[in-house]
Amino acid sequence: MKHIAATCLTALALVPAISSAQTLAIGKSLFNAQCQACHGTPPRLSDNGGRGINNPNAIRSAINGNKGGMGYLSTLSTQDLTDIAAYMGAPTGVSAAAATANERVLNWAEWKFQTMLLPRATSTQVGPYAVRGYGNGLYVGMDDATVYLYSAANGLQPVGALSSFLSMAAADGF
Ligand code: HEC
């Protein structure tokens, strides 16, 4: 009992210490789960979704106005929208440690090759490979060293070292 109380107190004491980096990481995961499918991954916000950057009220009014069918997002809290807006304004502020190299490169690839890699996908781990499949039958996969493309027509093709794709992703803010 004493121990539980002590643990709770410790947790409470930590609340004000939550850093903005964590807020951004939370905003990122919320954005990826709730917004990315329609708006893409920041920094690509060429549509009016960019109005939500650092502006949770703009997101709330888009939800209230059911813009683009967004009305179903009404369960998102004000804190959620604040975190999302902050992340949209600082997508590069999420520390690299917050996502694995594979996820960073896959997210970047979807942003970079956005007409080819659709609809946006989540990764499946297949043995050592993180894999995402797309509507046109193309798969992008990678282990911790090499990036591959797979399609029925061309089979499995290595397209380069993960490290060089990671540099390109980092240069674009992923
Ligand atoms: C089902 C698809 C969909 C989802 C999910 C979605 N949006 Fe939208 N959103 C749209 C469409 C479509 C528009 C209109 C785009 C335009 O006008 O260019 C829009 C418009 C907006 C706007 C602009 C409103 C205005 O004043 O013009 C903002 C800001 C926005 N979305 C933010 C978000 C955020 C943040 C999320 C995640 C919480 C989200 N959207 C989720 C489809 C979606």
* Lowest mean pLDDT, pick from 13-17, 39-43, 114-118, 170-174: 13-17
**Ligand 1: centre distance to CA 114 (Å):** 18
**Ligand 1: centre distance to CA 54 (Å):** 14
Residue 164 predicted with pLDDT over 50: yes
What is residue 46's predicted lDDT score, i.e. its pLDDT?
57
Residue 34 predicted with pLDDT over 60: yes
* Residues 53 and 81: beta-carbon distance below 8 Å: no
Residue 85 predicted with pLDDT over 70: yes
What is residue 131's predicted lDDT score, i.e. its pLDDT?
94
* Residues 24 and 72: beta-carbon distance below 8 Å: no
Residues with a CB atom less than 6 Å from ligand 1: 34-35, 37-39, 47-49, 51-52, 58-59, 62, 67-70, 73, 76, 84
Kindly tell me the burial class for residue 18, based on how many C-beta atoms sit within 10 Å of its own C-beta (0-12, 13-18, 19 or more). Answer: exposed
**Ligand 1: centre distance to CA 41 (Å):** 13
**Ligand 1: centre distance to CA 8 (Å):** 38
Among protein residues, the one with the nearest Cα to ligand 1's atom 15 is 48
Among protein residues, the one with the nearest Cα to ligand 1's atom 11 is 68
Number of the ligand 1 atom closest to the C-alpha atom of 59: 29
Residue 98 predicted with pLDDT over 80: no
Contacts of 93 (CB under 8 A, 6+ apart): 20, 21, 24, 87
What is residue 147's predicted lDDT score, i.e. its pLDDT?
97
What torsion, rounded to 10 degrees, do the Cα atoms 159, 123, 26, 12 define?
-120
Number of the ligand 1 atom closest to the C-alpha atom of 73: 38
What is residue 9's predicted lDDT score, i.e. its pLDDT?
38
**Ligand 1: centre distance to CA 67 (Å):** 6
At 47-66, the pLDDT tens digits run 778 788 888 999 999 999 99
What is residue 108's predicted lDDT score, i.e. its pLDDT?
80
- Selected residue with higher pLDDT from 87 and 118: 87
Residue 3 predicted with pLDDT over 90: no
